[in-house]
């Protein structure tokens, strides 16, 4: 089977790794890929957002399936373009991808169908945003750049001055670029955040083990927001009862609302939830698996990925017998010096060849230079371990991290350390 995988991050390397485990004879091409995907197949000199280049290559080479990883090409309509050209592709179409591409669109969608979420409003000019923020008068406030900002476009303002400064930085100074053309302001909800990944063909759905992400740069959830510094799954508080409530109170109503909107969502819907004292509330949607959540979920799935993806594409997910194992998994992200600001690149990475059973190192911001692998981006590596219990998986992950060295590397030392049996703690 010939597969085209679009993307270059840790999520895409994890997908490549799993595809090759499912079928060692697979012909894998990754556009543009990284040093890790290059060891599993062929990296192509085509950027993930170069839709014309991707279409041209796929038209010529005719892959059996194209799999889209990053959100940017999905929001740019890569699925629509491929389907129009008669090329098989896995991922949600452009209309469905708006759930991630515009936070204002998503908030309006949630409010329209009375789905559980925080009160909020969207703005296209900073003066209206200032007025709403001051009139709202309740802090903290959550301010979100409307468009794609690599997971960094959310700022929590603790007081009116911070809110005003944030509005100026996002909308007027454009610190997140065009993502800041519009702004969402919403009420801050205290509670426990969780990552819910839903396989859906638009009709049926399967909830994967609930993961816990760690978004802040520093221990004890301090420092700047990042794309994610680590994750673990399944979360100990994710009981069968809790998952059943998420299915009935969140997932089913969301899918029903999407159908009412005429949105045919086929793929993986990531629902960022916060569990409050009043129950689950929707914070955000992503239209593919999270990064680093994908890295902890793949070792927990026994069903081959291609079988899952084809069942979703053909709207027969309800007939597929999904097989999950009872393992636990932990991922530690090792980031470059300077991240989440401007990362220091070009630094050689050592220790990648030192293997440890029950672990895998997924490349993100890496590049192959001759025989060396060097730092190419902010979140450089995702070190994942799995075991029959969470404590062993965590120990293995940190043992593997200890074998990796490059100048200025940074990682959190408390991933999967704060384990509770209650979702609101």
Read off the CATH number of the domain in which 40 is found: 3.40.50.20
- Determine the structural domain holding residue 56 and report its residue range: 2-93
- Coil vs helix vs strand at 373: strand
Residues 327 and 391 in one domain: yes
> Please, where are the H alpha helices in 213-348?
240-246, 252-260, 293-297, 305-313
Q: 389 in a domain, yes or no?
A: yes
Q: Which of the 8 DSSP states describes residue 397?
A: H
Residues 166 and 137 in one domain: yes
Q: 115 in a domain, yes or no?
A: no
Q: Residue 361 belongs to a domain with what CATH number?
A: 3.30.470.20
Q: Tell me how far apart the alpha carbons of residues 317 and 303 are, in angstroms, rounded to a whole number.
A: 12
Residues 230 and 350 in one domain: yes
Q: Residue 155 belongs to a domain with what CATH number?
A: 3.30.1490.20
Residues 157 and 241 in one domain: no
Residues 278 and 314 in one domain: yes
Dihedral (CA of 195, 363, 92, 75) sign: positive
Spatial CA neighbour of 215 closest among 130, 282, 153:
153
Q: Tell me how far apart the alpha carbons of residues 90 and 267 are, in angstroms, rounded to a whole number.
A: 7
Residues 38 and 132 in one domain: no
Q: Tell me how far apart the alpha carbons of residues 15 and 244 are, in angstroms, rounded to a whole number.
A: 28
- Token pair 């025989």 is at which residue? 371
Residues 327 and 202 in one domain: yes
Domains in the chain, number: 3
Residues 75 and 220 in one domain: no
Q: What is the pLDDT along the chain (425 residues), one digit of tens a residue?
A: 999 999 999 999 999 999 999 999 999 999 999 999 999 999 999 999 999 999 999 999 999 999 999 999 999 999 999 999 999 999 999 999 999 999 999 999 999 999 999 999 999 999 999 999 999 878 999 999 999 987 778 999 999 999 999 999 999 999 999 999 999 999 999 999 999 999 999 999 999 999 999 999 999 999 988 989 999 999 998 899 999 999 999 999 999 999 999 999 999 999 999 999 999 999 999 999 999 999 999 999 999 999 999 999 999 999 999 999 999 999 999 999 999 999 999 999 999 999 999 999 999 999 999 999 999 999 999 999 999 999 999 999 999 999 999 999 999 999 999 776 566 65
Residues 256 and 172 in one domain: no
Spatial CA neighbour of 65 closest among 7, 6, 3:
3
Residues 66 and 137 in one domain: no
Q: 113 in a domain, yes or no?
A: no
Who contacts 395 (Cβ-Cβ below 8 Å, separation ≥6)?
Answer: 385
Residue 111's φ and ψ, nearest 5 degrees, are: -70, -40
Question: Hey, what are 179's tokens?
Answer: 């993502």
Pairing of strands 267-276, 205-207: unpaired
Residues 158 and 254 in one domain: no
Q: 106 in a domain, yes or no?
A: no
Residues 297 and 172 in one domain: no
Q: 111 in a domain, yes or no?
A: no
């Amino acid at each position: 089977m010939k597969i085209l995988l679009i993307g270059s991050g840790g999520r895409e390397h994890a997908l490549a790794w799993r595809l090759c485990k499912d079928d060692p004879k697979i012909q894998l091409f990754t556009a543009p890929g990284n040093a890790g995907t290059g060891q599993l197949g062929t990296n192509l000199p085509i950027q993930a957002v170069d839709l014309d280049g991707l279409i041209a290559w796929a038209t010529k080479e005719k892959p059996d399936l194209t799999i889209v990883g990053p959100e940017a090409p999905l929001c740019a309509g890569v699925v629509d373009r491929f389907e129009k050209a008669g090329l098989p592709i896995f991922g949600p179409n452009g209309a469905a991808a708006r759930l991630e591409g515009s936070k204002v669109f998503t908030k309006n969608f949630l409010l329209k169908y009375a789905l559980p979420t925080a009160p909020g409003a969207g703005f296209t000019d900073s003066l209206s945003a200032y007025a709403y923020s001051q009139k709202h008068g309740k802090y903290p406030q959550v301010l979100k750049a409307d468009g794609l900002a690599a997971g960094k476009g959310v700022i929590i303002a603790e007081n009116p001055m911070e809110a005003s400064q944030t509005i100026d930085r996002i909308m007027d100074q454009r610190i997140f670029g065009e993502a800041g053309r519009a702004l969402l302001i919403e009420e801050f909800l205290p509670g426990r955040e969780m990552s819910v990944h839903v396989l859906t063909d638009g009709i049926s759905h399967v909830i994967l083990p609930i993961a816990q992400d760690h978004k802040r740069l520093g221990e004890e959830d301090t420092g700047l927001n990042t794309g994610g510094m680590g994750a673990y799954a399944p979360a100990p508080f994710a009981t069968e009862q809790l998952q059943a409530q998420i299915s009935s109170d969140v997932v089913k109503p969301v899918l029903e609302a999407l159908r009412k909107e005429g949105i045919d969502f086929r793929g993986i819907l990531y629902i960022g939830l916060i569990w409050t004292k009043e129950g689950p509330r929707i914070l955000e949607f992503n239209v593919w698996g999270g990064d680093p959540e994908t890295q902890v979920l793949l070792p927990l799935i026994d069903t081959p990925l291609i079988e899952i993806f084809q069942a979703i594409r053909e709207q027969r997910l309800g007939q597929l017998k999904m097989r999950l194992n009872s393992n636990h998994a932990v991922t530690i992200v090792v980031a470059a010096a300077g991240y989440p600001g401007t990362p220091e690149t070009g630094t050689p990475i050592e220790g990648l060849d030192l293997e440890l059973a029950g672990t895998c190192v997924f490349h993100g911001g890496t590049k192959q230079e001759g025989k060396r692998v060097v730092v190419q981006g902010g979140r450089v590596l995702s070190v994942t371990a799995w075991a029959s219990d969470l404590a062993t998986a965590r120990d293995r992950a940190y043992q593997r991290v200890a074998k990796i060295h490059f100048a200025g590397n940074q990682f959190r030392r408390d991933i999967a350390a704060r384990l509770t049996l209650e979702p609101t703690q």
